[in-house]
Amino acid sequence: MERSNLTYVAAPVRRADEPFELVERKGVGHPDTLADALAEHLSAVYSRYTLLRFGAVLHHQFDKTGILGGRVQVGFGGGRMLSPVRVVLCGRASGSFAGTAIPVRQLLTEATHRFFAERFPMLDAERDLRLLYEVSQGDSPGGIGAKNGTNVRSRWFAPQSLDDLPEVKRLACNDTSSGTAFWPPTPTEQLVLDVEQVLAGEVRPAWLGSDIKVMAHRAGSRVRVTCAVPQLAAHVPDIETYVANRKAARAVLEQHAAEHYPDLQVEFWLNTRDDDRRPELYLTHTGSSIETGDEGLVGRGNRYGGLISAMRPFTMEGISGKNPVYHTGKVYCVAADLAARAVHREFGHGAEVLLVGQSGRELADPWAAVVRTEPAADGAPAPGMEAVAPLVDQALATLPQTVEDILADAYPMY
């Protein structure tokens, strides 16, 4: 990279030492997180199919996937769906390669059914899911000569050979956009990430739903955390059981915070809308608000890294479902992550990395890069631009080797 592309900032304080933090996470069963996860799943299924049969990930994007909630009847002891959850499968995908048709609709439909069956076994795919299929083969801007097929752009979604995939020869940005990441998380950020795993425990309670939402704000060393924790009606026979479960959940979180975050004064609130007398409770059939009309859309949930951390830089790109080979906003989040972790590993400084791509420019040569390092815990001096620049270069050079890990869901896209 040209050094003029890199801006280096040595921050005066660590994020953890700033006077205020605001950190949120939408759990794995939240509609927005589900939409992100489904879009990534569809991209991985399609990518693996085309890799196996044609030797390359063909052009596609499923980053506008949406989940539209249904209607439910629920009470102590169980529930049932009254109206189905609707899933909007949209985007673009190559429908053929060298004249061989690709069964895109079948691939995505079967993948969607598997996705919901794994997460919501109480749903019947035929009765409780309705798929709205709107995936097109599409076109790509700039396809001059499309009528006679002389321009590669005109064959963007119907390649005749690997020669019609420009990224095979030159890996370039598909868009002008940015990707960001940071490492390590602050104690408050890590506490928010902990909540789901702590509640699930070594043996997940049968009553625990997946649409867990966490919001924390820290002022000095005081951290206040609000959690929405759903309960599965089939495993909650009465109000007494519900209240006991809620108390148990709060107790396990308080114990975890006391043991693992002794320098913070942590307070927890759970299900603040509950009214035990009416009763009005977070009691669900599926464990997710997709059952009550709530919608989920790619890009509205957690940022790369699994958090919505308001004091951090982040991209507004909806990265889930984008092509893992060259979609700038997606792969630059991965490169930024690799670079931030490398800075921390090599020098002990926390780091935030921002990469900006310019449409058509080589991925390994971003239009702009910013690295912000925090003071090290041991007081070591800031590493400086000449020390961090090679780590950014290495992260960018590694991008072609990250595709398989992206397909394996090895990076925290959501």
pLDDT single digits (tens) 47-95: 999 999 999 999 999 999 999 999 999 999 999 999 999 999 999 999 9
Q: What is residue 4's predicted lDDT score, i.e. its pLDDT?
A: 74
Q: What is residue 140's predicted lDDT score, i.e. its pLDDT?
A: 65
Q: What is residue 138's predicted lDDT score, i.e. its pLDDT?
A: 72
Do 283 and 205 lie in one domain? The reply is: yes
Average pLDDT over residues 166-187: 96
Domain count of the fold of the chain: 3
Residue 84 lies in a domain: yes
Do 118 and 83 lie in one domain? The reply is: yes
Residue 328 lies in a domain: yes
Q: Are 78 and 234 in contact (CB under 8 A)?
A: yes
Host domain of residue 256: 187-297
Amino acid identity for residue 127 in this structure: R
Do 279 and 368 lie in one domain? The reply is: no
Do 180 and 191 lie in one domain? The reply is: no
Q: Taking CA 229 as the corner, what is the angle to CA 223 and CA 234, rounded to the nearest 5 degrees?
A: 165
DSSP, collapsed to helix, strand or coil, labels residue 163 as helix
Do 292 and 308 lie in one domain? The reply is: no
Q: What is residue 312's predicted lDDT score, i.e. its pLDDT?
A: 96
Do 40 and 156 lie in one domain? The reply is: yes
Percent of the chain at pLDDT > 90 equals 93
pTM: 0.95
Do 180 and 321 lie in one domain? The reply is: yes
Do 180 and 127 lie in one domain? The reply is: no
Do 80 and 206 lie in one domain? The reply is: no
How buried is 146 (Cβ within 10 angstroms: 0-12 exposed, 13-18 middle, 19+ buried)? middle
Nearest-angstrom CA–CA distance, 60 and 62: 7
Do 306 and 221 lie in one domain? The reply is: no
Do 326 and 250 lie in one domain? The reply is: no
